[in-house]
Structure 1
Amino acid sequence: MALLADQTREEIRTAAMATIGLSIGVSFAIAMVLGPWLAAWAGLAGVFWFTALLTLVGLLVLWRWVPAAPRRRRHRDVGMDRQQFKA
């Protein structure tokens, strides 16, 4: 999420965060449907091996297609306002 915040403009950041949240929810729903089927077909060990395979695919995507984080960037929508601490 932090990398996404660094890589997106403020105008589209909310939509990008919502897309990630949606993908997490959809993947959870798919896992609830396919998990028992996979466990019945390949056993509990098969579920863990499938998880390991998905982890390797995720690392490959991260290494190959996700751009590196910028060195340093300050977001205007995040920060501390020193006026908050004055009495």
Structure 2
Amino acid sequence: MEKPREVWLDFDDSVVTVFGEQGESAVGYNPRYHGRRSYKVKVAFISGTGELVYSKLYDRKTASNGQFREFLEETLAKLDQGF
């Protein structure tokens, strides 16, 4: 077991295009495939080591900063659990 340490977190998001009618995907801003259904994936990494702490899929109508506070709180909860 590692002792608690201070870390910096990096957050990112990206568009993931789907082909077909996958559940909860939606048509929204998609820079590569205009008008296609897609998801927004948000991820949190520990800076420096690149360890993935948390990721979550949202429908494509979610903006980059949409639901960020919720995502941050869920990420911090994962860190408290030792992810």
TM-score grouping bracket, smaller chain normalisation: under 0.3
| TM-score (norm: length of structure 2) | 0.27
User: Which structure is larger by alpha-carbon Rg, 1 or 2?
Assistant: 1
Q: Which has the higher helix share?
A: 1
TM-score by length of 1: 0.26
More strand by share: 2
